[in-house]
A and B are shown apart, each in its own frame.
Chain A
């Protein structure tokens, strides 16, 4: 099976699905090109996440990640929730296939965006609240691979390509992973790769 039992459990019985009409913060991420879209709704009470709901358009991993993130963040303080990282989500799920790791990025990002939205709204005029933790810098000791096929990357750091997928790759300025040069957004984190 490509997915762990825990992923399949969260996919089959996702926790906290839905919307909050009176949400204190809303976070949206993703686009239909990469295939996943997530919206997180939060209620905040005494600096804690009193309620979380989400909606997800996406694959089994995307739905499971959303569910897992909502469960991990429920009842936590905002600072604790902001500290939830992609790695922790994937770890809690018993691992994700390599080409689905970007789904775990999306889940934590959507939650963080909802918290940022709440902080913006609750302190009008003030600077946005705690900044999201810097995206995980790409570890170049790790073997780099094509984000589509996991195959080896050929060429130097700034001009490289995947022979199999026949695409040119660039490093995403947000997450540091290799992504398709021809796309507007990074396939791993969904953030724009050009300003």
Chain B
């Protein structure tokens, strides 16, 4: 049975051209980019080229890009690095309630060493209100971090508006753009942010390569002390093959961004319309309009997400869920709860993230596969039986 993979948020397949670009650095070109000899310098050129490519994708300069091993590391470097560097100025950090754990937990770590954090709530569509961010600012605030798009509910956040309010008060703004870069146009100048995280595996780059944009003149203390790699902002020998792969993936994304987005948005819309139109008691999560082009997410009432996920998996369809049971921590998604969904509905979470290669036929397959699965699980569900009983009486 061919696999139908719709979990790009977790990982996307490596683009063949990215793999091809990586191969020489897994074989013959093994030098260390910090070495002054020819073997090192050849590799340094490739790393610098990748830096250019990643910078171009987001409208930055090459020397504003710090390569990291993951989006989580980029988020940690932004939160902790910026906050610690600006510690003399203030010790208050503002984040949104729907941030990735690597932002929320980095903020919690800062609390342990004397910082305070404000968590700004979201509305029912997962949108952060720029006014609420502005109200959370204090004279001690040094960093605001609001994500550009939420992978779990697809909502695109008003980061430019938030950044404008912060800039007026000389407060640094970081945005976690891991779910957005490579899928929607992202320009750091238009956003007005000082720091931005991106990660290769969400746009067909290899695992192990991500980056933090740090606007020229923005100070961040390194998380890893050591040599002068990444201009002293991240010590350790570079993961050269992955960085080169990320660079190639960034070039491809830049060239195909518009075409990919239009195609994916059409498939996404059909998936949303098909699922909502075919099945009762299913809600779309996130913002219908301001939404990632490749993302469709739902909560299915009376059934639990992990059961849905396993059932789809048995039919060869790979998706994600934010239900408590599907998480190792057995906690329902903090994103869905922050949006005000009740626990029972949040348990029925299902997240589809489409690939460039996803076809219209595959979307129809998914919509059709859904029916018998929902029916089977609802037949088993005591909450659905209860619902039917109440409806009859």
> Footprint of B on A, CB under 8 Å?
3, 8, 11-12, 14, 17, 19, 28, 32-39, 55-63, 99-100, 102, 147-150, 165-166, 187
Complex CA distance for A37 and B385, rounded to whole angstroms = 12
Interface code B282-324, partner A: CB below 8 Å = 1, 0 otherwise? 0000000000000000000011101100100010000000011
Partner of B302, one of A34, A57, A147, A187: A57
A-B contact pairs, 13 of them (CB 8 A): A14-B380, A17-B379, A33-B343, A34-B324, A36-B304, A55-B385, A58-B307, A59-B306, A60-B306, A60-B325, A99-B330, A100-B325, A166-B108
B276: Cβ under 8 A from any A Cβ: no
Q: Known contacts being A19-B385, A32-B343, A55-B381, is A149 close to B304, with CB within 8 Å?
A: no
Q: Is the CB of A57 within 8 A of B303?
A: yes
Which A residues touch B379, using CB under 8 A? 17
B329: Cβ under 8 A from any A Cβ: yes
Q: Is the CB of A59 within 8 A of B382?
A: no
Complex CA distance for A149 and B384, rounded to whole angstroms = 30
Complex CA distance for A32 and B310, rounded to whole angstroms = 19
Q: Is the CB of B323 within 8 A of A37?
A: no
Q: Known contacts being A19-B385, A34-B324, is A56 close to B380, with CB within 8 Å?
A: yes
Q: Is the CB of A59 within 8 A of B383?
A: no
> Footprint of A on B, CB under 8 Å?
105, 108, 302-304, 306-307, 310, 314, 323-326, 328-332, 342-344, 347, 379-385
Complex CA distance for A28 and B382, rounded to whole angstroms = 9
Q: Known contacts being A32-B344, A33-B343, is A59 close to B328, with CB within 8 Å?
A: no
**Residue from B303, B347, B382, B384 having most chain A Cβ neighbours under 10 A:** B382
Closest-CB distance, A191 to chain B (whole angstroms): 16
**Residue from A3, A17, A58 having most chain B Cβ neighbours under 10 A:** A58
Closest-CB distance, A178 to chain B (whole angstroms): 13
Q: Is the CB of B323 within 8 A of A59?
A: yes
Partner of A35, one of B302, B330, B342, B382: B330
**Residue from A33, A39, A147 having most chain B Cβ neighbours under 10 A:** A33
Partner of B325, one of A8, A55, A59: A59
Q: Is the CB of A57 within 8 A of B330?
A: no
Which B residues touch A59, using CB under 8 A? 304, 306-307, 323, 325-326
Complex CA distance for A117 and B2, rounded to whole angstroms = 49
